[in-house]
Amino acid sequence: MSKTNIIEKFESFAEHWSPRLIAECNGQHVRIAKVQGEFIWHTHEDADELFMVVKGHLTIRLRAGDVTLNENELFVVPRGVEHMPVAEQECWIMLFEPADTLNTGDQRSERTVTKIERI
Amino acid sequence: MSKTNIIEKFESFAEHWSPRLIAECNGQHVRIAKVQGEFIWHTHEDADELFMVVKGHLTIRLRAGDVTLNENELFVVPRGVEHMPVAEQECWIMLFEPADTLNTGDQRSERTVTKIERI
C-alpha cells in the first residue's frame, strides 16, 4: 500500500496513445495516457469510459457532436457510444474503466494495446 | 451527456464531509468532498475506496501507519482496511467507489450521509 503521484507517473514515460495502469479499485483501472493527434473511431460495448484531462485539451468526437475537455474536466462516454479522442497538442489524460477494457474497443489496429503496463 | 468541470463543482458547495456525486461509471461513483478536521474510523467491508487530492493535504490514518496525500496524489484503501481521513486545513478530495458505498462504512453516526446529492 503506497500512494501514487499522478504527475510523477506522467513524467515517467513519453509515448503517445500508450495507456499505463496506475491504480486498481473494485475491478476498475485507473489509467493515464499522453495523447496527441487523432486516435481511431471505436466503441466499448460493455464499458463506460471516463476521461479526465490533467493537462492540455482533449476533444472527444462523438457521432452526435464534439466534447472538448480542458484541465480538470471530465466526461463519461457511455457504453456502446462510438467515439474518437483527438488532441491538437500533447494532452495528459486519466481514464477510469473496467480492468478488461481494450483501448481500441471493438477495433483492432496497430493502436491496440493488449498488455497494459503498471507503473 | 455533458462534461463536468471539477473545480466549478467544488465551488458550488461549502459543507465539510458531505460528498457530492459528480459522475457515474460502470456502477462506480465519482464523488467530491471538502474536508477539514478529523473524520471517524470506519471500514468498507466490500469496497475499495480511492482517494485523490485536488487541493490541500489529506492524511489517511491506517492502523498500520499514516499516508499523507498532497495535490495530484492518490491512494486506494483496500476493502476491509480500517481508516480515518484527517485534514488540518480544508482539503478538496475526489473519491471513486461503488455506487452503494456509505461514507462512514460500517459505522453509523451524525456523519453518515445516506443520500448523496448529485451536482
pLDDT at residue B10 is higher than 90: yes
Query: Are the C-beta atoms of A86 and A93 separated by less than 8 Å?
Result: no
Categorize the per-residue pLDDT at B1 as very low, low, confident or very high, splitting at 50, 70 and 90. confident
- Give the span between the Cα atoms of A1 and B48, in whole angstroms: 12
Query: Residues with Cβ < 8 Å from A86, sequence gap 6 or more?
Result: A37, A38, A39, A58, A59, A60, A61
Cβ separation A3–B73 shorter than 8 A: yes
Query: Are the C-beta atoms of A73 and B6 separated by less than 8 Å?
Result: yes
**What letter does residue B16 receive in the DSSP assignment?**
B
- Chain A residues whose CB is inside 8 A of the B25 CB are 28, 48-50, 76, 96-97
Residues A81-85: what's their mean pLDDT?
97
Q: Which of B7, B11, B24, B26 best tests the A interface by mutation, with the highest count of A CBs <10 A?
A: B26
Cβ separation B74–A28 shorter than 8 A: no
Q: Distance from first CA to last CA of chain A, Å, rounded?
A: 14
Residues B42-71: what's their mean pLDDT?
97
Cβ separation B67–A1 shorter than 8 A: yes
Q: Tell me whether 0.90 is exceeded by the ipTM.
A: yes
Categorize the per-residue pLDDT at B84 as very low, low, confident or very high, splitting at 50, 70 and 90. very high
- pTM for this entry: 0.95
Predicted pLDDT at A1: 75
CA distances from B49 to A42, A43, B17, B62 (A): 30, 28, 15, 13
- pLDDT, tens digit (0-9, with 9 covering 90-100), for A19-60: 999 999 999 999 999 999 999 999 999 999 999 999 999 999
Predicted pLDDT at A61: 98
Q: Which three cell numbers stand for residue A82?
A: 462510438
- Give the span between the Cα atoms of A14 and A34, in whole angstroms: 7
Categorize the per-residue pLDDT at B93 as very low, low, confident or very high, splitting at 50, 70 and 90. very high
Domain B6-105, architecture per CATH = Sandwich (2.60)
Cβ separation B24–A76 shorter than 8 A: yes
Which among A96, A97, A27, A35 is positioned nearest to A61, based on CA atoms?
A35
Interface A–B counts its CB contacts (< 8 A) at: 101
Cβ separation B69–A3 shorter than 8 A: yes
| Alpha-carbon gap: B45 to the closest alpha carbon of chain A (Å) | 12
Query: Residues with Cβ < 8 Å from A47, sequence gap 6 or more?
Result: A79, A97, A98, A101, B26
CATH 2.60.120.10 describes domain A6-118? yes
Q: Which three cell numbers stand for residue B97?
A: 467507489
SS3 label, residue A61: strand
Residue of A nearest to B3 (CA): A75
Mean pLDDT over all residues of chain A? 96
Cβ separation B4–A73 shorter than 8 A: yes
| Chain A residue set in contact with B, beta carbons under 8 Å | 1-7, 22-26, 28, 30, 47-50, 52, 54, 62, 64, 67-70, 72-76, 78, 81, 96-98
**In terms of DSSP bridges, do strands A65-69 and B83-98 run parallel, antiparallel, or are they unpaired?**
unpaired
Query: Are the C-beta atoms of A33 and A41 separated by less than 8 Å?
Result: no
Q: Which three cell numbers stand for residue A68?
A: 472538448
Query: Are the C-beta atoms of A16 and A37 separated by less than 8 Å?
Result: yes
Residue of A nearest to B51 (CA): A3
Predicted pLDDT at B106: 92
Query: Residues with Cβ < 8 Å from B75, sequence gap 6 or more?
Result: A1, A2, A3, A4, B50, B51, B60, B67, B69
Residues B68-96: what's their mean pLDDT?
98
| Alpha-carbon gap: A99 to the closest alpha carbon of chain B (Å) | 11
